[in-house]
Amino acid sequence: MNKVTCDIAVSLDGFAAGPDQSLEYPIGVHAGVHAGDLLHRWMFERPEENAEVIEAITEAGAYIMGRNMFSHGRGSWDLDWTGWWGENPPYHAPVFVLTHHPREPVTMKGGTTFFFVTDGIEAALARAREAAGDRTVSIAGGAQTVNQYLAAGLLDELRLHISPVLLGTGERLFEGVGDLDLTPLSSATTDLVTHVTYRVGR
């Protein structure tokens, strides 16, 4: 059976997004700065230094994400919206988007197709497992989606990418997940990020 993993960038105080998320600031704002810039500096400013980690993030055979990670909107779909990533998203695999509003699949360049799942996290995982074959399934985010999979005991491996910033508020990882048994498997540190991998149990 596929391993189910999650890679997620968080602040030192455990937030995966700042407050005031919007079309202009999809990961929120902190002190007038895009929170995404603060949390992901290591990825964009030092890609060579973090090449092995970035490769692991993008090697999954299928992905699952919440609607807020795919779109800024709520309610009925804006059918012109095809994600934050342009014509060639970085996934290059099927992506299953959790939503309450049905939508036909959206096929992009590079092998990414977004499928919209309205019947919950377990149904999305079943579809992602089938699509991934013998490869990994990745829970791509955001924090609320990751928390749902943690609470349901459906995540095998959690890879935290911890930036040395304090957001103070926003969307926090580990809210409502119950008791977890997190066994450290590996860690690596630079001045911009600490990567820690945990095996998740209960």
Assign residue 145 the CATH number of its domain.
3.40.430.10
Residue 30: is its pLDDT beyond 90?
no
DSSP state for residue 183 in the 8-state scheme: E
Please indicate, yes or no, if residue 17 is contained in any of the structural domains: no
The token pair that represents 154 in the structure block: 């459906």
Whole-angstrom distance, CA of residue 72 vs CA of residue 124: 21
The three-point CA angle 91-197-88 to 5° equals 10
Under 8 Å CB-to-CB from 119, ≥6 apart: which residues? none
Please indicate, yes or no, if residue 89 is contained in any of the structural domains: yes
The token pair that represents 198 in the structure block: 């945990």
Whole-angstrom distance, CA of residue 26 vs CA of residue 129: 28
Measured N-to-C along each axis, helices 121-132 and 143-151 cross at an angle, to the nearest 10 degrees, of 90
Please indicate, yes or no, if residue 202 is contained in any of the structural domains: no
- Across 12-54, the runs of DSSP E, i.e. the strands, are 15-17, 29-30, 33-34
Whole-angstrom distance, CA of residue 3 vs CA of residue 14: 24
Whole-angstrom distance, CA of residue 199 vs CA of residue 43: 23
Domain encompassing residue 75: 61-154
Please indicate, yes or no, if residue 140 is contained in any of the structural domains: yes
Whole-angstrom CA distances from 139 to 2, 6, 48, 145, 182 are 12, 5, 24, 8, 17
Strand partners, 171: 17
Strand partners, 163: 11
Please indicate, yes or no, if residue 40 is contained in any of the structural domains: no
Whole-angstrom distance, CA of residue 122 vs CA of residue 126: 6
How high is the pLDDT of residue 14? 96
**Identity of residue 25:** Y
Above pLDDT 90, what percent of the chain?
86
Do the Cβ atoms of 87 and 108 come closer than 8 Å? yes
Please indicate, yes or no, if residue 80 is contained in any of the structural domains: yes
DSSP state for residue 25 in the 8-state scheme: -
Residue 202: is its pLDDT beyond 90?
no
The stretch 67-72 carries a mean pLDDT of 93
Q: Which residue has the higher pLDDT, 85 or 72?
A: 85
Residue 19: is its pLDDT beyond 90?
no
The stretch 159-165 carries a mean pLDDT of 97
Please indicate, yes or no, if residue 84 is contained in any of the structural domains: yes
Write down the pTM of the prediction: 0.94
The stretch 84-111 carries a mean pLDDT of 97
Task: Name the band, by pLDDT with cuts 50, 70 and 90, for residue 75.
Answer: confident
Please indicate, yes or no, if residue 146 is contained in any of the structural domains: yes
Domain total for the chain? Answer: 1
